[in-house]
């Protein structure tokens, strides 16, 4: 039986490292950083770590709202396809920086793609 993606990525240590690097990239991207101006980034990063752990098949300690509800205020501020693509690009770059195998990155991208319509309110 195949291990969950969470374990194949490296578990909690890997998810934590990825989220830390990912948000460094996001917050330096002038096209998407403004969406985080009023966000408590420590809380955001902790929620993201719990969400990704759950999404990748690890322990489910995520208790946040669903994607559509969470992103609705951002859509009202102009969140669109170009922002989604920028976030995806930063995630791919993060995983590559961490030397994650392309096959695992592809699995992550399938999960990310499944959130597209909810994130953008489509």
Domain boundaries, the chain: 10-119
pLDDT digits (tens, 9 = 90+) for 61-80: 778 788 899 999 999 999 99
What is the pTM for the complete model shown?
Answer: 0.93
Q: What distances in angstroms separate CA 71 from CA 13, 58, 66, 76, 97, one per listed residue? A: 27, 23, 9, 9, 27
90 annotated as belonging to a binding site for a ligand: no
CATH number of this structure's domain 10-119, picked from the four choices 1.10.490.10, 3.40.50.1820, 3.90.420.10, 1.10.3720.10: 1.10.490.10
Query: pLDDT of 13-64, one tens digit each?
Result: 999 999 999 999 999 999 999 999 999 999 999 999 999 999 999 998 778 7
Instruction: Give 90: exposed, middle or buried? Use CB within 10 Å, 0-12, 13-18, 19+.
Output: buried
């Amino acid at each position: 039986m195949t291990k969950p993606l969470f374990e194949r990525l490296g578990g909690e240590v890997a998810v934590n490292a990825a989220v830390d690097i990912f948000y460094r990239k996001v917050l330096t991207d002038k096209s998407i950083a403004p969406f985080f101006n009023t966000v408590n980034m420590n809380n955001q990063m902790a929620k993201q770590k719990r969400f990704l752990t759950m999404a990748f098949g690890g322990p489910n300690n995520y208790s946040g709202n669903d994607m559509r509800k969470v992103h609705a205020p951002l859509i009202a501020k102009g969140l669109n396809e170009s922002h989604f693509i920028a976030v995806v690009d930063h995630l791919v770059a993060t995983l590559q920086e961490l030397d994650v195998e392309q096959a695992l990155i592809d699995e992550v991208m399938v999960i990310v793609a499944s959130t597209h319509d909810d994130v953008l309110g489509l």
